[in-house]
Structure 1
């Protein structure tokens, strides 16, 4: 089972709500994260230090070694840019991918790091989804930056601490964070266009401006078997069944050509587990499995791998409907 990061304040609740969708759902029912919970602390004062030295692994992307804290840490949030990136600044509510190492100020004990796992953390910088120390420290930082921060308890785990990680309610936490990438509602797949030569399949636009790609469904009978084809082929790692996917997507009904749900243009992205999607729309899960991050994929789902004779009530999907999806795979964890 994939180990959940200690940084996340809540498990993502952004499962694609296909089972409950209505007609052309542009309201963004595919929420990208759990609803934010009220913050227990006002915004922190951000100061330059003190911060312990990074003694080894000083390059971006390298696992750092950090000295133990010296003296008393600040009661404020200490933030220092060790390496200034050249990408765009990160904004509130965006998703970011970041590698990090976290340790306790007093002891220098490392309690968590993503470098050893070989996979950056994917999370949303929003209230209630990540510890506040990260949320406030990373806003406005540029992609490609390495940031060191010292987080007092009020902006970490509070008085309760995090016993499973050996963190007490009085512990100040030190993090080194490499901001790898970020995604927002204007993000699209950026892969290489793949020829669409099969006249029996829908044609999908290859725009990469974050706007909904036009899908033209042919006036023919749908295929009887699952179809999963690249429209834009990315160069990222292949998706695995146990991963969570961050994406833009739209779903259409083959028979009518009408959209029943989408994220494009809603101001939100969608985040869902492939394994859990297997319990809802098997064809969508199977069609994404093994596809490369950074790709746009066309998936045609026959009824037996979709909703069959039990479609959602009151919507565009009917008994025996074939479903057409376009999915921009932005990131995975």
Structure 2
């Protein structure tokens, strides 16, 4: 399944951002046209029995985050889900419905044909461990593992792509799939920015809280008139990669009007949000472009870069409204 399939629809809760008053939207998650472990539909299969093997040997690239070389499977694979923690990490424990950031390589048991790997792209996959978003084998194999772990798994068709296989990747409906997955990080609704706090010296701009406990930061809007130009300032500056204008991001965010009234928040839904910068209002797209992953950013959006005189119905946003957001950039997708 192509990675772009994860971004067909704008996630729930972004109705007040999607469509944007922009000239048009597009699917921004270009990604790779190779197979990734995303799933096209929720599986109806019962939970698998998890066994220790058999699993083919990793013959090269044995360190965490190194591209592995995996031997061809020997004999018949298990009909159950085979899972082995090759390197045990010490980070946060992965839970179902978390987002995981991981490098991975996948190949077919019988032929050792590599059908996809993220190492060559030099961009880890960020994907939600949710039913219908990812093949069940990944969901069951990675739940309970810790960030920093290398996990190897052999996935029978029942918990992979089913009897239909994945024609784009050359995967038949009878193929058992072998993956090595390096879990770099995991994110959930309690995740926050990580970095250095930046001074907030301008008394004419909103002041944003710097708590990193997963709770919504405060936004104190001043009594002065709102700025007429876009503001996009670090509150906490992370040390991750910069976000490109055509990329997608995983975020926590909260939005208020210039009078301080909250109109939207991922914190209130207790769920992270992902979207492409080409799917949102111009102020968001311009404000987040060039910012570093791991950061908290204050974005103040004047009407011409927000909704102008055409705010979404029932959004609580009036015509000509200035929008104020605090955004934690957790990962690029």
Same fold (TM over 0.5): yes
Does 2:316 align with 1:316? yes
Decide whether the 8 Å contact of 1:274 with 1:285 is kept in 2: yes
Cα deviation digits, residues 184-215 of structure 1 (max 9, x gap): 00111011100011111000010000111111
2 CA distance for matches of 1:147 and 1:198?
A: 48
315-324 or 203-212, which deviates more: 315-324
Structure 2 partner of 1:100: 104
Does the C-alpha gap of structure 1 residues 13 and 40 become closer, same or farther in structure 2, counting only changes over 3 Å? farther
Range moving further from structure 2, 291-300 or 306-315 = 306-315
Q: Does 1:192 align with 2:196?
A: yes
Q: Superposed, which structure 2 residues align to 1:5-84 within 5 Å?
A: 5=3, 11=8, 13-14=10-11, 16-19=14-17, 38-84=42-88
Whole-Å Cα distance in 2 between the matches of residues 39 and 205 of structure 1? 42
In the TM superposition, 1:1-333 aligns within 5 A as 4-5=2-3, 11=8, 13-14=10-11, 16-19=14-17, 38-254=42-258, 256-277=259-280, 281-333=281-333
Distance 1:154 1:35 in 2: 12
CA contact (8 A) 1:78 1:150 kept: yes
Q: RMSD of the alignment, in Å?
A: 2.0
| Structure 2: distance between partners of 1:177 and 1:48 | 16
Report deviation, 1:10.
7.7
- Distance (Å, rounded) in 2 between the aligned partners of 1:325 and 1:332: 19
Q: CA deviation at 1:13?
A: 4.3
Please give the per-residue CA displacement for 1:51-77, whole angstroms capped at 9, x wherever unaligned.
000000000010000000011011110
After TM superposition, give the deviation of residue 257 of structure 1 in Å: 1.1
Structure 1 alignment gaps of length 5 or more = 21-33
TM-score computed with the length of structure 2 as normaliser: 0.90
Distance in structure 1 (CA, Å) of the matches to 2:17 and 2:92 = 36
**Which deviations, in whole Å up to 9, do the C-alpha atoms of 1:289-308 show, x marking residues without a partner?**
11000000000000000000
Contact 2:39 2:135 in 1 (8 A): no
How far, CA to CA, are the matches of 1:167 and 1:185 in structure 2?
Answer: 34
| Cα distance change of structure 1 residues 290 and 9 upon mapping to structure 2, 3 Å threshold | closer
Gaps of 5+ in 2: 19-37
4+ residue segments displaced more than 4 Å: 8-13, 34-38
1:199-246, Cα deviation, whole Å (9 max, x unpaired): 110000100001111111010111111110000000000001221110
Q: Is the 8 A contact 1:10 1:129 kept in 2?
A: no
- Deviation string 1:106-144 (CA, Å, 9 cap, x unpaired) is 000000000001111001111110000000000100110
